[in-house]
Amino acid sequence: HNLLFILGFNAFGGFSIFLPKLINAIASDTTGLQAKLRSEVKEKCGTSALTFESVKSLELVQSVVCETLRLNPPVPLQFARARKDFQLSSYDSVYDIKKGELLCGYQPLVMRDSKVFDDAESFKAERFMGDKGSELLSYLYWSNGPQTGTPNDMNKQCAGKDYVTLVACLT
């Protein structure tokens, strides 16, 4: 019970920031996104109740959630201390990081990297669909790890990241 309380308590703050952004992204779209989402849900789920398992087959729904997270990460700043000496590489530089140094990442900037995401400032509902979209998931970062990663005690990645996306898909 305590573990569920902690996961829910921590997720509430981020989700209460993220959910209005998701609803706004869908509601303000002028390309027929709502109809496409409705059609996908009807086609893949029929009259059955939505479940965590059935949501996994909804590629457009999941892509819309991921695209909203990309443009509006609910936790924009990430902090950590280096556990060992290492070199951090960017496109044009290499930085020497020493053990114990404080690091800070600003996700909104990273998620708009035009070298990774085509038309990075625009909302593209289908961005994370298909093979190319699946590859982009490794660049969609949650607190200290990619969407394709698995949270564990060594990477400080959001323990509820998979549940957040599934719950967002259900809304």
Average pLDDT, integer, range 46-75: 89
Q: Is 103 helix (H, G, I), strand (E, B) or coil?
A: strand
Using the predicted structure, report yes or no on whether residue 100 has a pLDDT greater than 70: yes
What residues have CB less than 8 Å from 40, skipping those under 6 apart? Answer: 58, 59, 60, 61
Domain contains 95 = no
Domain contains 88 = no
Strand partners, 80: 103
Q: What is the pLDDT of residue 157?
A: 76
Using the predicted structure, report yes or no on whether residue 156 has a pLDDT greater than 80: no
Structural domain tally of the chain? 1
Encode pLDDT of 79-97 as tens digits.
889 999 999 998 899 999 9
Confidence of residue 31 (pLDDT cuts 50, 70, 90): very high
Helix (H), strand (E) at residue 81? strand 77-81
Range of the domain at 49: 1-76+122-170
Using the predicted structure, report yes or no on whether residue 67 has a pLDDT greater than 90: yes
More confident residue, 71 or 50: 71
Where do runs of H (alpha helix) occur along the chain? Answer: 2-27, 33-45, 52-55, 59-71, 107-110, 130-136, 161-170
What is the number of H-type helices and E-type strands within the chain?
A: 7, 6
Using the predicted structure, report yes or no on whether residue 7 has a pLDDT greater than 70: no
More confident residue, 152 or 65: 65
Residues making up the binding site: 158
81 backbone dihedrals φ, ψ, rounded to 5°:
-105, 140
Domain contains 111 = no
Residues making up the binding site for heme: 158
> What mean pLDDT value characterizes the chain?
88
Domain contains 1 = yes
CA–CA–CA angle 52, 56, 57 (5° rounding): 130
